[in-house]
Amino acid sequence: MEIYNISDAKKFMNNKKTVFVTGVTGQDGSHMVDYLLKNTDYTIFGGARRLSIKNHENIKHLETNSRFQLINFDLSDAHSISKTIEQIKPDYFINLAAQTFVGSSWDFPTQTWECNTTGVIHILEAIRQHKPSCRFYNAGSSEEYGNVAYTPQDENHPAKPRSPYGASKSAARQLVKVYRESYNLYAIQGLLFNHEGTRRGEEFVTRKITKAVARIKQALINFKTFDAVELGNVNTKRDWSDAEDFVDGIWRMLNQEEYRADLKNLPTGRLLLPGEIAKTDQQGLVGKIREYVLSSNETHTIKEFVELAFKHAGINGGWHGQGTVEEFSLVAKDVEKYEAVSSVLVKINPKFYRPAEVDLLWGNSNLVRKDLQWSPKTSFEQLVEKMVKNDLSLLGLTV
């Protein structure tokens, strides 16, 4: 898909509202673009880096969509961010680009900070200068909670990050708040617990598991040997949802007056339309907008994810041992059925332990469910099943 320079953007603009989405080659950004194309008639610009080898897998289905254009964009370049917002003057700017892998944030702490925190200042400054009525969403994370003080975690939980990634998101939250309060910007940072799907990057544990399950299934049915998948701390608990449910929640956060009864009687006496906020209207609104938690309100161990993933591939296994010698292995009847030389499906490798673990994340999204009538549609088990089926089908397999 062609990536245009910002100077080309004008030729795609019309009288429709515009949304600029960053991180469109990633999971959330690509789902957000699909959601906006389906649910609005706006013109969508997607920010993407021009890499030597294209990674457009998640957006290749949008190749011929005239309402969506890719613009060369890098969070580390203040000048180009400013130029982008000055030229397009978007009605919404949704920042889903980041250094997203918690594990890598110890190896690349400076790059994580530059991208996830300094990059956000560049965007906020450009919005303040060139389009103060633009509505800005920045992607926050449950990793900001870190060493949790109580469970489940809601909007009032203090920030106690345990990784450079969590710290970078926590600092960005403070910046978004300062700009919102200092300049009356509709600028918010959602608090999103883990969300997954068929477009999840392969380094993330859920996708690492579902890809491995498909690979092992392929080996088993062909009576071939296979390597076990190696994981870190499988007792870690996370609150997992479907990324497609979350982009709807993000859009609701950016249009709160459409859902919240208490915002329908702002000083203008009318319901404000997205992107139409005059300065005085915006002052009345931004004092009342909220940042919300999105979560499933359930927590599950990585072990549970493993069990369901193999179950939905029709492979029967069980856990044995403890700590670093814990294993998930084929049950005896499956060893016989597949004539398996090795029965070990999953083993623990301390190499994947983190310098500081976040043992338990469990969200409480009751506020957004009440205020914005949002709720997740896909259950934990449906999510695992969907990811496994997708990875099986990529290898031409079914259950």
Does 216 bind ligand NAP (CB under 6 A)? Our answer is no
Whose CA is closest to 274, among 266, 265, 284, 282?
282
Q: CB of 155: closest distance to ligand NAP in angstroms? A: 15
Categorise residue 391: left if φ over 0, alpha if ψ from -120 to 50, beta otherwise.
alpha
Q: CB of 30: closest distance to ligand NAP in angstroms? A: 8
Does 3 bind ligand NAP (CB under 6 A)? Our answer is no
Nearer to ligand NAP, 32 or 229 (CB): 32
Among 3, 18, 26, 374, interactor with ligand NAP by CB under 6 A: 26
Among 3, 139, 216, 293, interactor with ligand NAP by CB under 6 A: 139
List the Cα angle 218/224/226 in 5-degree steps: 75
Quote the tokens at residue 7.
């100077």
Does 62 bind ligand NAP (CB under 6 A)? Our answer is no
With contact defined as beta carbons under 8 Å apart, do 281 and 348 qualify? no
Of 91-110, binders to ligand NAP (CB under 6 A) are 96-100
* Number of chain residues interacting with ligand NAP (CB under 6 A): 26
Nearer to ligand NAP, 98 or 216 (CB): 98
Work out the number of other CB atoms within 10 angstroms of the CB of residue 57. 10
Enzyme catalytic residues? 141, 143, 165
Residue nearest to ligand NAP (CB): 26
Among 115, 126, 254, 308, interactor with ligand NAP by CB under 6 A: 115
Of 228-267, binders to ligand NAP (CB under 6 A) are none
Among 3, 6, 19, 29, interactor with ligand NAP by CB under 6 A: 29
Q: CB of 240: closest distance to ligand NAP in angstroms? A: 8
State the maximum Cα–Cα separation within the chain, in Å, rounded to a whole number.
Answer: 73
By CB under 6 A, which span of 173-181, 187-195, 216-224, 251-259 interacts with ligand NAP? Answer: 187-195
Contact positions vs ligand NAP (CB under 6 A): 22-23, 25-29, 49, 51, 55, 73-76, 96-100, 115, 139, 141, 192, 194-195, 201
